[in-house]
Amino acid sequence: MISVNNLHFAYKRKPVFTGLSLQLQPGHIYGLLGKNGTGKSTLLRNISGLLFPRKGNIEVLGHNPAERKPAFLEEVFMVPEEFYLPNVKMDELLKYQAKFYPKFSVEQFNRYVREFDIPTDTTLQEMSYGQKKKVLISFGLASNTSVLLMDEPTNGLDIMSKSQFRKVMAGALDESKCIVISTHQVKDLENLIDRITIIDEGRILFDQTTENITRKLSFRISFEGDDVTNALYSESSLKGNAIIELNMYEEDSKLDLEMLYKAIVTNRDKINAVFNS
Amino acid sequence: MNQSFSMNRWGLLMGKHWSENRKKYTLGIIAIASIMLLWYGFMILVGPGLDKDVQAPTYFVGLFIIGCIYGSLLFADLAERTRGISYLSVPASHLEKVLCNLFFGVLIFFVAYLAIFYIVTPPMMAISNAVRETKWKAEGAGYPFVKFELVNVFKFGKGKGEDLFYGLHLAYFAIQSAFILGSVYFSRFSFIKTVIVALLLWLFLFMFVANILSAIMPDGNYFNGLTNWRLMNNGTVTNKVIMLPGWVETMVETLFKYGFAPLFWVITYFRLKEKEI
């Protein structure tokens, strides 16, 4: 569905990607993680055709995104971190924008608006940042595009809204869609994403399904000194030592995305060795 | 569906553009009418009244200044990342986007400006005539009272220079198209930057014609236009003239009259295609 091959990209003389390759398939919610400035947003903008690769190529649903053909744009919706919505009422937004997306569902949009508790009687400019963002997310989901790209979607959302976001997103995926969520707020998406891709310095640092991660790694709290010593990663907490260790006995454990992220950033080779073995 | 131009998509784009900008356009129309009223009021109070020598310059100076400022804002969305992403992500082709902006920025603006001029000018001219007539009666002047008439902005008069207004309109469309192109090229201060670039190009052209071409040509000077070169002999004018073929003169004249606006619109289209945000 999305194929990124040997992507090279630079802002003037500052290189961001030097040979990044990535394949994304439908039916998954991908979590694109990484530190600030590692190129997460740049990658999404390359995929959506807003930036063009300097070398290498990107193919989305058989289209070259850089051509920005209507057939491509109808199938790709981007929720940017900083976004613009026109100063119109919601019904006008639907009247004039929704028709551009052949699979747009007004019923779905209204359902998301209700779930997000967005007021419908004000213009978009009168809404708060969080409300506007929820309108854009609702619109993006109701567009039913095959590719939905979300850049830091939970930024600016309050606690209730983040919970609503997770609920809405959980019901939004189907076999024909590919959703890519870029974030550094990993806790917000813990139970949502089913494949984690970590980018650092323009390279893929880690790329695994959550199923594979919990099959090979175990996340738990331990009070034993030996466990900490033998762990792939550990950090002390008020409850004891949180550790990541090899899942030798295929036990079920709850994926701690934040800890996994820190483990990969600090001890990448050790973690990757587990998945390559 | 056609990926370059679809009437249905273009119609949707026009509807979207209108719904998002109608308040701005309405305010703009009110502002232009108000400025024109104030100016006419000023001229009635301190000037000789609204004769054709006031009406025509008012029309053309306003058209050039407001039209060029508006032209330089036509693609202002691209100057701001959030608006630019929203604009480029709309599922319509680059051609449809350019044609939509040209429709509103060139055609609708011109028609609206013309309409404002012919709505505001007649009543103000009537007031001007009434004021003058009152003065004329009070002065008991021995000359007949001549009412000022409404100017036809498409017809200067008869005889020499009768196509002046026609030429000014052509020049306006050419210059405005340069500002439209500037609005795609320059992210910030596009109006000022376009003015600077245009002046530099004009200076270059002037230097090229005055210095470089003159240096290549034999002793002489331009005569009756830029396509005739009158030879001189030791500072004395001869009766020998080097003339470029008639079709070259026609071509250059046609290019200057009709070529620049479409040329700049086409470049705007290609520039939009390669725009990255």
Q: What is the pLDDT of residues A165-224, one digit of tens each?
A: 988 888 888 888 999 999 888 877 878 888 999 988 788 888 999 888 988 888 888 887
What is the per-residue pLDDT for B219? 86
User: Looking at chain A from residue 36 to 65, which residues have their Cβ under 8 Å from any Cβ of chain B?
Assistant: 45, 48-52
- The 10s digit of each residue's pLDDT in A122-160 is 889 899 999 999 999 999 999 999 999 999 999 888 888
The closest CB to that of A68, out of B23, B86, B94, belongs to B94
For the cut 70, the answer to whether the pLDDT of residue B1 exceeds it is no
**Cα torsion angle, A24, A27, A33, A38, sign:** positive
Least confident of B176-185, B211-220, B253-262: B211-220
Measured between beta carbons, the chain A residues lying within 8 angstroms of B274 are: 52
B24 touches chain A (CB under 8 A): no
Nearest C-alpha in A relative to B277: A50
Cα B147 to Cα B50: distance, rounded to the nearest angstrom: 10
- What mean pLDDT is reported for chain A? 90
Query: Residue B261 — very low, low, confident or very high, per pLDDT cuts 50/70/90?
Result: very high
CB contact under 8 A, B92 and A73: yes
Residue B156 is classified by DSSP as -
pLDDT for residue B206: 87
Answer whether A96 sits within 8 Å of B93, measured CB to CB.
no
Name the minimum distance, in Å, from the CA of B124 to any CA of chain A: 36
Question: A73–B82: do the CB atoms touch at under 8 Å?
Answer: no
How many CB atoms neighbour CB B270 within 10 A?
Answer: 12
Q: Per the CB < 8 Å rule, is B20 touching A87?
A: yes
What digits encode the pLDDT tens for the residues A245-271?
888 888 888 888 888 888 888 888 888
Chain centroid to CA A259: how far?
17
> Which position has the higher pLDDT, A157 or B107?
B107
> Mind telling me how many Å the CA of B194 is from chain A's nearest CA?
23
CB A100 within 8 A of CB B89: no
Assess contact for A83 and B85: CB atoms under 8 A. Answer: yes
Q: Do B90 and A92 touch (CB under 8 A)?
A: no
- Give strand pairing partners of A14: A11
Question: What DSSP element (H or E) covers A120?
Answer: none
Nearest of A200, A210, A165, A167 to residue A28 by alpha carbon? A210
- The confidence score (pLDDT) of residue B160 equals 66
CB-CB: which of B15, B82, B91 is closest to A73?
Answer: B91
**Closest in A69, A86, A92 to B93, CB measured:** A69
Q: What are the angstrom distances between the C-alpha of A126 and each of A120, A174, B223?
A: 11, 33, 65
**Residue A38's pLDDT is what?**
86
Contacts of B3 in chain A (CB under 8 A): 69-71
Residue A36: helix, strand or coil by DSSP? coil
Chain B interface includes A95 (CB < 8 A): yes
Q: Cα distance from B114 to chain A (closest Cα, Å)? A: 28
Pick from B81, B83, B89: CB nearest A73: B89
**A96–B20: do the CB atoms touch at under 8 Å?**
yes
CB contact under 8 A, B85 and A52: no
Using one digit for the tens of pLDDT, what is the confidence trace for A30-48? 999 988 888 899 999 999 9
Q: Which residues pair with A217 in a beta bridge?
A: A246
Residue B135 has pLDDT above 90, yes or no: no
Mean pLDDT of A70-86: 95
Contacting residues of B for A92, CB less than 8 Å apart: 19
Q: Which two tokens stand for residue B179?
A: 């500002």
Residue in chain B closest to A97 (alpha carbons) equals: B16
Nearest to B19 among A51, A70, A92 (CB): A92
Give residue B159's pLDDT. 67
- CB-based contact B20 A51, cutoff 8 Å: no
The gap from C-alpha B164 to its chain's centroid, in whole angstroms, comes to 14
Residue A10's pLDDT is 93
Distance from CA of B57 to the nearest CA of A (A): 37
- Whether pLDDT at B150 is above 90: yes
Digit-coded pLDDT (tens) for B63-103: 999 999 999 999 999 999 999 999 999 999 999 999 999 99
Which tokens hold the place of B62?
A: 């306003």
Residues of A in contact with B273 (CB under 8 A): 68
Burial class, B1, CB count within 10 angstroms (exposed 0-12 / middle 13-18 / buried 19+): exposed
Q: Provide the shortest C-alpha distance from residue A13 to chain B (in Å).
A: 16
B220-222 and B228-233 strand pairing: antiparallel
Supply the pLDDT for residue A246.
85
**What confidence score (pLDDT) does residue B210 get?**
81
Q: Is the pLDDT of residue B158 over 80?
A: no
State the nearest Cα–Cα gap between A67 and chain B, in angstroms.
7
DSSP H or E segment with residue B6: none
Contact B113, B66 (CB under 8 A): yes
Cβ contact (<8 Å) for A73 and B276? no
A14-23, B57-66, B237-246: least confident range: B237-246
Cβ burial B29-50 (10 Å sphere, 16+ → b, else e): beebeebbeebbeebbeeeebb
Contacts of B12 in chain A (CB under 8 A): 96, 99-100
Nearest to B86 among A49, A69, A84 (CB): A84
Residue A238 has pLDDT above 90, yes or no: no
Asked if A221 and A239 touch (Cβ cutoff 8 Å), the reply is yes
> Please, which pLDDT band fits residue B233 given cuts at 50, 70 and 90?
confident
